[in-house]
Amino acid sequence: MKVVEQIKQPIRKEMELFEKKFHDSMSSKVALLNRITYYIVNRKGKQMRPMFVFLVAKMVSNGEVNERTYRGASVIELIHTATLVHDDVVDDSNRRRGFFSINALWKNKIAVLVGDYLLSKGLLLSIDNGDFDLLKIISVAVREMSEGELLQIEKARRLDITEDVYYEIIRQKTATLIAACCSLGACSIKPNSNEVEQMRKFGELIGMAFQIKDDLFDYTDGPIGKPTGIDIKEQKMTLPLIHVLNNAGKEEKKWLINSVKKHNKDKKRVQEVVAFVKEKGGLTYAEEKMIVFQKEALALLSGFPPSPYKDSLELMVNYVIERKK
């Protein structure tokens, strides 16, 4: 059995019902919108985010979920999908998970409007049901994700990025959404409990490990759907490169910065940078940091009694850093 299927096992029933509710939550009177949302739903990814919502909810409540849990999972997936649609416009990307992106098929204007529509659908789903505590969690995540993206763009222009700034970027850009999933799961069942903050922290730590793993893929040849060195081409400063930059001699530092700033479109030069970062221990350093986040996340689960949901969450934490794509 594939790892993702194994993780899903204790929430299979909930995930099936969720898919139906999620599909319904996207419906519109506009035929064009329905055609696009149908396209989105049929090209779904692994659905890790709703899985976090249900697994956390069931772990903190001895196997209970309620309508709020389903709404929380739908909202997070609507907002996540909206950000992906907008990301593809921002990045001028024509592919998403091996399929054509919305902007490639329907152009940028429609893609931006579809992203806005999904975002508003998510917010209204919470408002119409009085889930203001869940709405606050989600709204904070959306704000932080936007700030993280903008901080990364600002720093890419100047390439003056420290390790602390990098952690702040990935915390906002990636970890905050997974943190929101986990706190939503706890909050849907046990509002105002200590578990809500504990699970937010748990999700944040997994998100940090997840993003470092993603950044490591940029230095490895493998079946991950993106060629090596793409972050360097896009002038994105990730942990392996930051670590090597901070520990390089004056001449090496100058060469690295010059490569990223002025020669980032030169394939040969980019591969030289990739090789240099590997040789100087950038990957090993990033892997060590990733494992620290993983262990901290697992430690936060240790106080919960044994259950299939806890087992699945532990499996998820390990999957995040062991995945091949």
pLDDT digits (tens, 9 = 90+) for 12-39: 999 999 988 888 877 788 888 877 777 7
Using pLDDT thresholds of 50, 70 and 90, give the confidence band for residue 183: very high
Mean pLDDT of the region 158-187: 91
- What is the residue type of 46? K
pTM value is 0.88
Phi and psi (nearest 5°) for 35? -65, -40
100, pLDDT greater than 80:
no
pLDDT for residue 232: 82
96 beta partners: 99
Mean pLDDT of the region 143-167: 85
170, pLDDT greater than 90:
yes
Range of 97-111, 174-188, 216-230, 269-283 with top mean pLDDT: 174-188
Question: What's the pLDDT tens digit per position in 190-208?
Answer: 999 999 999 999 999 999 9
Instruction: Return the H-helix or E-strand segment holding 304.
Output: none
pLDDT for residue 225: 47
223, pLDDT greater than 70:
no
Rg (the chain; Cα; Å): 20
pLDDT for residue 99: 64
Which of the residue ranges 66-70, 119-123, 289-293, 310-314 would you say has the lowest mean pLDDT?
119-123
222, pLDDT greater than 60:
no
List, in order, residues 6 or more apart from 240 with CB less than 8 Å away: 215, 216, 219, 277, 282, 283, 285, 286
Q: Give the chain's count of helices (H) and strands (E).
A: 16, 2
- What is the residue type of 254? K
Mean pLDDT of the region 235-254: 89
Tell me what the pLDDT averaged over the chain comes to. Answer: 86
In percent, how much of the chain has pLDDT > 90? 48
Using pLDDT thresholds of 50, 70 and 90, give the confidence band for residue 292: very high
Vertex 102 angle, CA 69 and 153, to 5°: 85
DSSP 229-275: THHHHTT---HHHHHHHHTS-HHHHHHHHHHHHHSTT-HHHHHHHHH
- The CA distance from 203 to 127, in Å, is 24
Q: On the CB side of 248, how many CA atoms lie within 13 Å of its CA?
A: 21
Inter-helix orientation angle 194-217/308-322, to 10°? 30
In percent, how much of the chain has pLDDT > 70? 90
Phi and psi (nearest 5°) for 70? -65, -40
pLDDT for residue 54: 97
